[in-house]
Copies of this chain bind each other. A is one copy, B any other.
Amino acid sequence: MEYPPELSKEEEKYLLDNLKDWSIAHGLAVRPAPTFIQPSQDPSGVLASTAPVTLFPSLFPRSCFEEGLAIQNAYNELYSAIARDEKWLQSIVEELVDIDDFVAKLWQTHLAVKKEGYVQDLSLGLFRSDYMVHKDPSQSNPAPGLKQVEFNTIASSFGGLSSQVSALHKYLLNIDAYPSSSSSLIKAEALRQSKSASSLAKGLAVAHRAYGASKTSRPLCVLFVVQDPERNVFDQRHLEYALLEENGVRSFRLPFGETLFHTTLDADRTLVYTPPNSPSTPYEVTTVYFRAGYSPEDYPKEQDWTARLHLEKSRAIKCPSILTHLAGCKKVQQVLATPHSPHLKRFLPDAEVAAQVLATFAPIYPLDSSEAGKEARSLAADPASASRYVLKPQREGGGNNIYRKAIPPFLEKLPETHWPAYILMEMIEPPPLKNAILRNGELQRGGVICELGVYGVCLWRDGSGAEKKGEILESWEAGYLLRTKGDQSEEGGVAAGFGAVDSCCLVDG
């Protein structure tokens, strides 16, 4: 069956009219891009537009969806264990400091706090593990598997909008905006409501309560540390509203660059936020929720690093701490996912749990002189096997990847001493899918790639004493995100790389 279904002109009008009104009425919105509406036209910022969304929920294998949700607790355990293992993280960071200034700066900031001593042993993670569906192209009728793209430990976004887009698709189904020809696929039983907004807010509330009372009887708050301006503000606002309405917890938004103007540390390093609008009522910050600070661009001035240090050394619970932030490095993923890696069992002592997590890794090899490296070199040099891989430089950032059959000739020209600067990753081969995306008022159709993100909330206590084992206080799977973008092919009408929020229409097999 063709999916998504072809729409007549009248069907498309009905679907779009209802989609556009519903999205604004329910805050499934973004501030308009400057390429769409020039800021000078709306200097006070009252305009918004429908967030980029898919018209249809994308088809997603039921088994993969359930696997992703079921495994989130194991990922919470894994990444909280990594974040607690400073020594191990140090070994990772040491491989990166010379090539990655940002990681080096984060590590120095951690060391500076460590020197003074951390005064908060609770850490909060609002994680998101991102996957794609993989179908092994070497098999004739392969079962779909879930392969991890990356694991986010800081500023995991779209939890607010994700709840809204799954509600949108359900609404469109309920008002018969999907033609009846598609009713065997798009049906209530197949759609999945994401609880992410509510569940992530609950995570912040749990940390807020675990912080305890103010020693100086100040009112307590959660601090959203944000970028400014922020086009994706409604995504964050939905968490704030759920935090207030469902949990009774106050929060404030603080642009990261203004941290030092509006916050101070008491002698015992209690973090105090003084709202500029009511300077006579300082708040004690229980939890710092970073929706900024994850990218080098967030630190244009040296003072921004002082701000990060200031927050890190405070007594507030950090979401995330710097060690948790560093646990999200791509390098960590690589080290865990290298075949025969001994590292996974270090953090997941239960062999069954470790095996489940391992099954979601796409193999990643170093191109060095280790055993795994030697294996990788032979895979990469042979055009037959190389066609299942991508060669990536260690540095972040796209545009430098070498794909498939281009790998052997590329390596032939590269002196072997430079090979270790690259890693070899098995390609994730998503099944061909189509959808239509509404973005800045333009409708784009064509081949798409879907990424499933599964949110996880984890609150833990760092270990102390010789054992340093730590303790997980709360851990749950916190809903999902489906993000869909145009595929790389020239044929697809959907512009590659431009994402939209989406929801899952589960299919068997």
A469: Cβ under 8 A from any B Cβ: no
A185: Cβ under 8 A from any B Cβ: no
Residues 1-28 of A, flagged 1 when their CB comes within 8 A of B and 0 if not, give: 0000000101101111100111011110
Instruction: State the CA gap A431–B143 with chains docked (Å).
Output: 74
Contact check, A24 vs B180: say whether CB atoms are below 8 A apart. no
A275: Cβ under 8 A from any B Cβ: yes
Within 8 A of B (CB), among A437-461: 438, 440-443
A277: Cβ under 8 A from any B Cβ: yes
- Known A14-B275, A244-B174: A47·B26 in contact at CB below 8 Å: no
Instruction: State the CA gap A46–B17 with chains docked (Å).
Output: 9
Q: Which of A200-208, A233-241, A375-383 contacts B (4 or more CB under 8 A)?
A: A233-241
Instruction: State the CA gap A244–B440 with chains docked (Å).
Output: 28
Across the interface, which residues of B come within 8 angstroms of A277, CB to CB? 8, 10-11, 13-15, 176-177
Query: For the complex, would chain A's binding face be called helix, strand, loop or mixed by DSSP majority?
Result: mixed
A29: Cβ under 8 A from any B Cβ: yes
Contact check, B24 vs A234: say whether CB atoms are below 8 A apart. yes
Instruction: State the CA gap A175–B44 with chains docked (Å).
Output: 21
Instruction: State the CA gap A70–B25 with chains docked (Å).
Output: 31
In the complex, what's the smallest C-beta–C-beta distance from A251 to chain B, in angstroms? 9
Across the interface, which residues of B come within 8 angstroms of A50, CB to CB? 46
Residues 23-59 of A, flagged 1 when their CB comes within 8 A of B and 0 if not, give: 0111101001000010001111111111000000000
In the complex, what's the smallest C-beta–C-beta distance from A437 to chain B, in angstroms? 12
A250: Cβ under 8 A from any B Cβ: yes
Contact check, A25 vs B238: say whether CB atoms are below 8 A apart. yes
Within 8 A of B (CB), among A398-450: 438, 440-443
- Looking at the complex, which one of B43, B47, B234 makes contact with A47 (CB distance below 8 Å)? B47
Contact check, A25 vs B234: say whether CB atoms are below 8 A apart. yes
Instruction: State the CA gap A25–B278 with chains docked (Å).
Output: 25
Across the interface, which residues of B come within 8 angstroms of A369, CB to CB? none
Contact check, A29 vs B20: say whether CB atoms are below 8 A apart. no
A296: Cβ under 8 A from any B Cβ: no
Instruction: State the CA gap A45–B237 with chains docked (Å).
Output: 24
Instruction: State the CA gap A26–B25 with chains docked (Å).
Output: 6
Across the interface, which residues of B come within 8 angstroms of A45, CB to CB? 20, 441
Residues 268-297 of A, flagged 1 when their CB comes within 8 A of B and 0 if not, give: 000000011111010000000000000000
Q: A15-B277, A16-B44, A24-B29 are in contact. List 9 more A-B contacts (CB 8 A).
A: A14-B277, A21-B233, A21-B234, A24-B27, A44-B441, A47-B49, A47-B441, A176-B278, A176-B281
Chain A to chain B contacts (Cβ below 8 Å), 5 pairs? A10-B279, A11-B278, A24-B27, A47-B48, A175-B250
